[in-house]
Structure 1
C-alpha cells in the first residue's frame, strides 16, 4: 500500500529539511522516526546550533567558502559535493528562516555568525532543552505538519523495498513489534551516522569502540547505511569521524562532555601514548588528533603534555576552553615541577618522556628532529614545552558523528559502486560520505550545514524525479 509519495527515514535536521521541501512542492511525505518520545534524541537536538562550513561563515562568498572547505579537507572533498554545499549555503539559510527557524549572530567570528536562536547555553555538560537544536526540530516538525506531512514515531526502518529498477519503499518494525511494508515512490535515508553502533565502528574506525567516548545522542546506529549497502549502494570515507578530545573522566562523568574539549591544548602541546612517545602531527587539528587516538591499540592511553605557558595560551582558546572550564567541571591536571616527576605520576618511562619533549622542542626550533612525527604549524602554532610547572591531562577520543557513509551525487541521489544512481533512493546528512574527505586528510565540513543543504537538495531532486515515475 502506498502511504505517501515520499518516505524519509529519520527525524533530524536532514530528514526534516528533505520532508519540508517535498511537502512545500505539493507531494505527500511521511517521516519515520524510531523514537517514541516527543523530544526524540538525535545529534540535531543536542547541537549548540552553529551553522558553519569548515569552522567559518557559510554565508560568505561561495568561492571563498569552497576554498576554505578544500583547505580544511586538504583537497580530499568530492568537487561536485563541495560545489553543491557552498553554492547553496546562503539559499539554505534563507529557506530555513522562511520555515520559522531563527538565527542570530552569536559572536564576531564566522563560526558563530549564523547561530540558532535561542543559542546553546555556555556551560559544560548537556544543556539542550528549549534551546538551539531542540527549538529548531520542533519548528521544522510543526511546519511539516502544517504543510500536510506526517511524522510517524516508534518506526524502525529495517530494509529497503527494491523493485526491478528502483527503490519502492521501506520495511519497518512498528512500536508494537509488527513488521509492515510501506510503499512509496521515493525514499530519503537521513538517519544519521553509525557512531553509536559498536560493530560498525569496529568494522570501519577503531578496534576498541568500547574505549571511545560516545559524544553524541546515541541514536546513530547506521541502519540506513546497512540498508543502502544491502541495496547495492557504494560507501565512501567510512574510516573517519568528527569528534573532539575529552578528559578521560568523561567516559563516566557526563559533566565533562560535550564541553569542555581539549583540542586547543593538544594542538599547542603534544600527545603521547603509553610509551611516552608522540604518534601524530598535532598541528593538523583536534579532529585529526581525535581520530589518531581512536586508532591506537588502546584509545585510552593518550596523554596531553604541556607547560604553564600553553595552559595560559592555547588552553584559554576556543569555546568553553579547558582553562578554566575543565577544572570547574570536575576534571583535573596532573602537574609536576619536572618532566621526570610528571612521567612518574603518569606511570610513563621518565627518560622516554624527557627525550620525546627534547626532540619535540628541537622540531619546534629547527623544523626537523629524528624519530619524530612531523609537526605542522598552520593553522595551529607549535608551542615549545620548556619551563615548569609541567602539566598532563589523561585524554580520550569523543566520537560525535561519522564523516563517511553512503555515496551520493550533488543532488543527494544514492550511487551504486559503478557510479550510477539508484532511482528513487536519496540520502542526506551524517549517513553520507564524500564531502568530508577520507583517510588521514579528512577534515570537518560542518554537520548542520551538510544536513540542511543536502536535505533541501534531496527534496528538490525528488520534485524533479516524481513526475517521471
Structure 2
C-alpha cells in the first residue's frame, strides 16, 4: 500500500526487522554510523534471538592458522598444544561450490569470502567474543595435542545464546530501541514505491505503523511454516521438526513480494539435520537448543526401520554432509532411522549431544537384543551389521581427523571411518529430520539491496540472513549461514 509521509515524522532512520545474528549485525553497522535504529523482534524477550539463539555459534572464516586467529579468539591453555590448519579463500570457494553443486551465486560468494574475517574482527571490536570450538571441531590425539578439522574452527563464546546476549548488550550500548513482541506484517511505501516503514502487530494485539528512511529485513525464512514447507519443499516436509525459532513463518518474504520484490535462491531445498526423534520436547527447545542434533553419525551406521543402510555415512567430513542428511532421514519409513555404535566408538561421540539426560537411546549387550528394542525389521537389522562388518577394509588405520579411506566395500559404501560394529554394549539413537532454515528468500545485490523483477533496487529496502537468497542450494558448508548473516547484515546496515 502506498502512502504519503514526511521524513520529518519518521520514528527512526532505520528499522531492522528480526533480532537474530544478521539483524543485530545490521543494527550495529547502522548505529555505529550515528543512525537512529529501531529493532523489531517478533519474540518476547525470553523467546528472542531468532534461529541464531539455537545455533552452536560456529562461523566459517578464512585464516592462516592458529597464530592468525589469536587476535580474534579468547585465550585458552590448550592453544599451546593445538594445530589449526589454515583455511584459504580458495578452499572456502571450492567448498561452497562443491556442496551447493555450483548453484551458489558467484558474486555473493566472493563478497562473503573476502569480508567474513574482517567482519568478525569488527564485531569483536564492538564486544562480541569468539573462541576455538574444541568440543565440536577437534579431536585430542594420543600425545595430548589437539587437531582441528573440516575448515570450521571458530565460534561464539556461549554458542548461540552467548552470541545473542553479546549482540543485545552491544546494541543497547549504542542506544538501539529494541521492541520485543512485534510481528511485522507488511511494508509501507510511498507513491513512488519507496519503502518508508513497517506495519506490525504487538503481542497485545495493537496494530502499529513505524516510519523510517530504510527498512532492513532479517526475519528469517519459512522453515517454521508447515504449509509453506509442504508447498515449496514437497509432501512430507510438514512432518519435519523445527529445530529453531517457531516464528520464521515467511511473513516478510510475503510482504516483500507484495510490493514487487523478486524471489531469490532455491525455494525447493533447505538446511536439515539428524535430530532426536523421541525426546519429549524436540522442537524449538530453548534449554537444549542445538544439543538435540546427532552429528557423530559419520563414526557409526545409519539404519532405517527396514533394517537397511541407505547412505554413505562417511562420504565426507560432517561439516559437508550434515545439512543434507536430514532430508534423507525424512524419506525413510516413518521418517526415522537409528544411529548405531559399539562401545569402542561410543566414547568418541560429541559429549554435548550424546551425554545429556533425557535423550532418546537404546542400549543392549548384543546386536540381537538391540534390534529387539527398536522399531525395525530385526533379522534385516542384524544381517545389515554382519554384512557391514565383513566388508570393512582392515588394511587402513582409522583416523577421524582426516578422510582416512578406511572403507566398507558394500552397497551403499562407507567411504571413510568404517569400523566394525562388534564390541558390546551397543547403542542406537533414533533420529528424524530437523529443519534449520530454508534457502529461498528475496533477490538482492551484493549490498543487500532488494531487487524487483527488472533487477532494480526497491528504494529503502534491504535484506540479510536467511531472507537473502542465492548463496545456498541443496546443502551448505557448516558455519556459512552465520558468516553470511554477519557479512551481508553489516553491508545492509552500512547503507541503510
TM-score by length of 1: 0.79
Equivalent in the alignment of 1:94 = 121
Partner residue, 2:201: 173
Offset, 1:413:
2.1
- Give, in angstroms, the shift of residue 293 of structure 1: 1.5
Paired residue secondary structure (2:446): coil
Point out where structure 2 has 5 or more consecutive residues left out of the alignment: 70-86, 135-145, 316-320, 394-406
Which of 180, 184, 189 aligns to 1:153? It is 180
**Post-superposition offset of 1:428:** 0.7
Q: How does 1:272-311 map to 2 (within 5 A)?
A: 272-284=303-315, 285-296=321-332, 298-299=334-335, 301-311=336-346
Superposed CA deviations along residues 366-422 of structure 1, whole A, max 9, x for unmatched, are: 8754xx445444xxx333445655442222223333344333332112234555543
Deviations 1:273-309 (A, max 9, x none): 322223333235322222222344632x222234344
Map of 2:271 onto structure 1: 242
Distance change (3 Å), C-alpha of 1:443 and 1:204: farther
Separation of aligned partners in 2, 1:36 and 1:257:
17
The alpha-carbon deviation at position 459 of structure 1 amounts to 1.8
1:89-126 deviation digits (Å, cap 9, x = unpaired): 12111221232223344546477854434x34xxxxxx
Contact 1:405–1:430 under 8 Å retained in 2: yes
State the partner residue of 1:123: none
Cα distance change of structure 1 residues 93 and 229 upon mapping to structure 2, 3 Å threshold = same
Task: Assess, with a 3 A threshold, how the Cα gap between structure 1 residues 42 and 240 changes in structure 2: closer, same or farther.
Answer: same
Name the residue aligned to 1:43. 51
* 1:339-354 matches, cutoff 5 A: 339=368, 341-354=369-382
Q: Is the 8 A contact 1:240 1:291 kept in 2?
A: no
**Deviation of 1:158 (Å):** 0.8
Tell me which residue corresponds to 1:465: none
Other-structure match for 2:79: none
Query: How far apart in 2 are the matches of 1:20 and 1:390?
Result: 50
Number of matched pairs:
433
- Pairing 1:314-353 to 2, within 5 Å after superposition: 316-318=348-350, 320=352, 322=354, 325-326=355-356, 328-339=357-368, 341-353=369-381
Contact persistence 1:167–1:425 (CA under 8 A): yes
Aligned residue for 2:450?
414
Once the two structures are superposed, residues 216-263 of structure 1 have per-residue CA deviations (whole angstroms, 9 ceiling, x without a partner) of: 233322212222233332142234433442332324366765325322
- Distance apart, 1:56 and its partner CA: 11
C-alpha separation in 2, matches of 1:347 and 1:100? 49
Instruction: Map 1:70-469 onto structure 2 (within 5 A).
Output: 70-105=97-132, 107=134, 109=148, 114-117=154-157, 119-120=158-159, 128=161, 132-145=162-175, 149-162=176-189, 163-205=191-233, 207-208=235-236, 211-231=239-259, 232-252=261-281, 258-259=290-291, 261-264=293-296, 266-284=297-315, 285-296=321-332, 298-299=334-335, 301-312=336-347, 316-318=348-350, 320=352, 322=354, 325-326=355-356, 328-339=357-368, 341-357=369-385, 360=388, 365=393, 369=410, 372-373=411-412, 375-377=414-416, 381-385=417-421, 390-417=426-453, 419-435=455-471, 437-439=472-474, 441-462=475-496
1:66 aligned to which of 61, 78, 93: 93
Q: Secondary structure at the match of 1:218?
A: coil
SS state at 1:259 partner: helix
* Structure-2 change in CA distance of 1:269 and 1:37 (3 Å): closer
Question: Contact 1:17–1:140 at 8 Å: present in 2 too?
Answer: no
Does the 8 Å contact 1:205/1:294 carry over to 2?
no
- Is the Cα contact below 8 Å between 1:69 and 1:445 reproduced in 2? no
Q: Flag the 1:335–1:178 CA change in 2: closer, same or farther, 3 A.
A: same
Cα deviation for residue 361 of structure 1 reads 5.2
Q: Distance in 2 between matches of 1:308 and 1:427?
A: 48
CA RMSD across the alignment:
3.5
Quick one: structure 1 residues 68 and 168, their matched pair in 2 at CA, closer, same or farther if it must change by over 3 Å? same
Name structure 1 gaps, 5 residues minimum. Answer: 121-126, 463-469
Query: Quick one: distance in 1 between partners of 2:437 and 2:104?
Result: 17
> For the residues of structure 2 that align with 1:71 and 1:56, how far apart are their CA atoms?
22
Alignment TM-score, normalising by the size of structure 2: 0.75
Deviations 1:139-160 (A, max 9, x none): 2321331xxx433333221112
Contact kept in structure 2, 1:54 and 1:444, CA below 8 Å: no
Deviations 1:7-60 (A, max 9, x none): 211122211211221233344332222234377343333444333359998975
Measured at CA, do residues 330 and 361 of structure 1 come closer, stay the same or move farther in structure 2, by a change above 3 Å? closer
SS of alignment partner, residue 136 of structure 1: helix
Give the 3 Å change call, closer, same or farther, for CA 257–170 of structure 1 in structure 2: closer
CA distance in 2, matches of 1:461, 1:74: 32
| Mean Cα deviation higher: 210-219 or 192-201 | 210-219
Query: 8 Å contact 2:63–2:88 — kept in the other structure?
Result: no
Shift of 1:427: 0.9
| Shift in Å, 1:81 | 1.6
Q: Secondary structure at the match of 1:20?
A: helix
